Amino acid sequence: MTRIGSPRRFDPWVGLVPVVALAAGLLFATSSTTAQGTDLRGGEVTELSALIEQRDSTVAGQQAELAALQEQVQALTDLAALRNGEVAAVQQQAAPGVGSAGLAELTGPGLAIELDDAPHPSAGTTPTEGNPDNLVIHQSDVQGVVNALWAAGADGVAIMGQRLISTSAVICVGPTLLLHGRKYSPPYVITAVGDADEMRDELAASPGVQVFQEAADDYGLTFDVEEEDRLSLPAYDGALDMQYARVG
């Protein structure tokens, strides 16, 4: 007589195995598609650095194209002024404001200021007070110096050869400075045309610059101020239209 065995007890894990395997396959496929050959663990810092590099190259090309177009516009405007008295009159009226707006090259005596990070600590040592931020130039340091120069009545100011205007913004991203869409690394050179004595006095009196001076003395940051008999600041050659503005 053939014995019929008792029914096998249903194991829920047996039914879940195919589901788990399917979910894992979908996850790997999604991860591969999202990564597209890149490291998903690169982090926001790596992505931001790569984005800045890409944007910097794009902006450099666009600025070169803009400068060429501005030269063409100026040449056509000058030609029109020779043939049209009204255009010539408008040019003459606007001439004084062009220099004040930073749209013309400026030459004269002034100050050249260099800001730089402290030397990197040698291997096996730690930064002073264990905070590496103490060893680098910050946005507030650059802005404090620039504000003091303007407060002293500087005729014009430039950072890394880029002329500052009323809408210029000094922004630091990590260890680099962004200005007019271009990226710069320290040392940062700030040049200002104006009365050197008045600018020195304002730098010494500025609370923000005083804080930076103390940090430079404590941690070895560079804060070098040199008087120059002749400085040349280039004209601002970027866009002048404001994208965001609100009154009140």
* Sign of torsion over alpha carbons 118, 205, 231, 104: positive
**pLDDT recorded at residue 172:** 85
Going from the C-alpha of 244 to that of each of 55, 167, 241, 247, the distances in angstroms are 20, 11, 9, 11
Q: Please determine, for residue 151, whether its predicted confidence score (pLDDT) is greater than 60.
A: yes
Confidence of residue 7 (pLDDT cuts 50, 70, 90): very low
Q: How far apart are CA 227 and CA 201, in angstroms?
A: 13
- Between 49 and 114, whose confidence is greater? 114
Mean pLDDT within 234-247: 72
Q: How far apart are CA 198 and CA 204, in angstroms?
A: 10
Segment 169-221, tens digit of pLDDT = 888 887 889 998 888 999 999 999 999 999 999 999 999 999 999 999 999 99
**pLDDT recorded at residue 6:** 40
Q: How far apart are CA 188 and CA 117, in angstroms?
A: 9
CA dihedral 98, 194, 112, 225 (to 10 degrees): -150
Q: Which residue has the tokens 């946005």?
A: 139
Mean pLDDT within 150-156: 96
Confidence of residue 115 (pLDDT cuts 50, 70, 90): very high
Is this prediction's pTM over 0.75? no
If you average pLDDT over each of 25-29, 108-112, 173-177, which comes out highest? 108-112
**pLDDT recorded at residue 45:** 47
Task: Indicate the average pLDDT of the chain.
Answer: 75
Q: Which residue has the tokens 């009545």?
A: 153
Mean pLDDT within 232-243: 79
Taking a C-beta distance cutoff of 8 angstroms, is the pair 52, 173 a contact?
Answer: yes
Q: Single out the residue of 44, 60, 61 nearest to residue 178, CA to CA.
A: 60
Going from the C-alpha of 187 to that of each of 63, 138, 145, 184, 210, the distances in angstroms are 23, 12, 14, 9, 19
Q: Please determine, for residue 146, whether its predicted confidence score (pLDDT) is greater than 70.
A: yes
Q: Please determine, for residue 147, whether its predicted confidence score (pLDDT) is greater than 80.
A: yes
**pLDDT recorded at residue 106:** 94
| Helix or strand holding residue 233 (H, E) | strand 222-233
If you average pLDDT over each of 67-81, 91-105, 195-209, which comes out highest? 195-209
Mean pLDDT within 68-96: 64
Q: What's the longest Cα–Cα distance across the chain?
A: 123
